[in-house]
Homo-oligomer: A and B are copies of this chain.
Amino acid sequence: MERFARRLVSSLPGLVFRGAGEVHNRPALAVTLYAAALGGVLASSFGRIADRTEVHDSSQETLLRGMKEEGLRTVERRYASNAEIYTPGDPADSLYLLLSGVVRTYKTYGELKEATTALLKDGGVFGALDLTEEGGRQQETAEAVTEARVLIVRKSALAWLVRRRPEVSFALFSAFSERGGQTEALHGILLQREVTSRLAMLFLHLGKRFGERGETGELTIDLGLTHQQLACMTASTREAVSKAMIELREEGLIDVRDRKRIALPDMLALLERVENGSARKSSQAASG
């Protein structure tokens, strides 16, 4: 798949994939690399399926099978839409496996402001991601976006399982790094200066993770997100999101269907929009 993405990317004007060692501080570098990161999605737009999620799913299966076969005590719980799963201060002695549905985690900053830190779909793992600190507490809030089924496992039980079945640790590593990728993506969003770019970046990210491919082959994000929610994910305001959405819509980069279904006709154009938007005002080769 990576080969495929490389071919795909290098077939576009201004996007050249370079090998290791050649990639220092060149124009359009960020586009290139991010395009490579988007490889799964881009490739699947040509009829192929991203393999990242498959890998991940299989590792979750490994984990679930291991837990089952060793008779680990787990609790499966259902949460209605908007229900809180845990809040800051709750003991962080368990890990949460999302079996179905969508869950988001967020932090509150300022007095009333909240920022979404991650959006998870089935197969995701959340809760403070470490097995060592038993006495820790949650630092953020997790809430169900859609109805969700969650499997709750004590970290101590998981630690026991890891000792007994080392291979499940790989499932955990995989889940952790998946989560790491999420937060990395959030950086990609927050580091953009302009609201429009941040929003574009967010859509790229959401499209990659939650996009559904319709009949026409277009990727659509159908999470029923309000402008307020988008503002929370881009560290911005409702109004600014409204304006940025209109801007992106007029440029044909996104397309809002009936109610809150966001279609992404051209992810690469969207990506270039991000680049150009921020490239316009970049200066001062930084050395810090």
Contacts and interface: CB of A to CB of B under 8 A. Distances in A.
Interface of A: 2, 18-25, 27-30, 33, 36-37, 55, 59, 87-91, 107-117, 128-133, 135, 137, 139, 159, 162-164, 166-167, 169-170, 172-174, 176-177, 179-180, 183-184, 186-188, 190-193, 225-226, 228-233, 235, 237-238, 275, 278-279, 281-288
B139 A18 contact: no
Nearest to A282: B110
A206 to B, nearest CB: 13
Contacts of A25: 108, 112
22 contacts: A2-B135, A20-B89, A20-B90, A23-B89, A28-B111, A29-B108, A29-B111, A55-B132, A109-B191, A110-B278, A111-B275, A111-B282, A112-B286, A115-B187, A116-B288, A117-B187, A130-B177, A169-B169, A193-B235, A225-B288, A228-B288, A232-B286
Max chain B C-beta neighbours (<10 A), residue from A23, A192, A286: A286
A180 to B, nearest CB: 6
Given A130-B173, A231-B288, 11 more contacts: A21-B89, A30-B111, A110-B281, A117-B187, A162-B166, A163-B166, A169-B172, A169-B173, A176-B176, A193-B235, A232-B286
A288 B226 contact: yes
Given A108-B29, A129-B180, A159 B163 contact: no
A190 B235 contact: yes
Contacts of A30: 107-111
A114 B30 CA distance: 10
B186 A113 contact: no
Contacts of A91: 20
B286 A231 contact: yes
Contacts of A183: 180, 183-184, 187
Contacts of A128: 177
Given A228-B284, A288-B232, A170 B177 contact: no
Contacts of A110: 30, 275, 278-279, 281-282
Contacts of A176: 129-130, 173, 176-177, 180
Contacts of A88: 23, 29, 33
A160 to B, nearest CB: 10
Contacts of A135: 2
A153 to B, nearest CB: 14
Contacts of A2: 135, 137
A4 B259 CA distance: 50
A180 B59 contact: no
B288 A113 contact: no
Contact of A186 (B159, B169, B187): B187
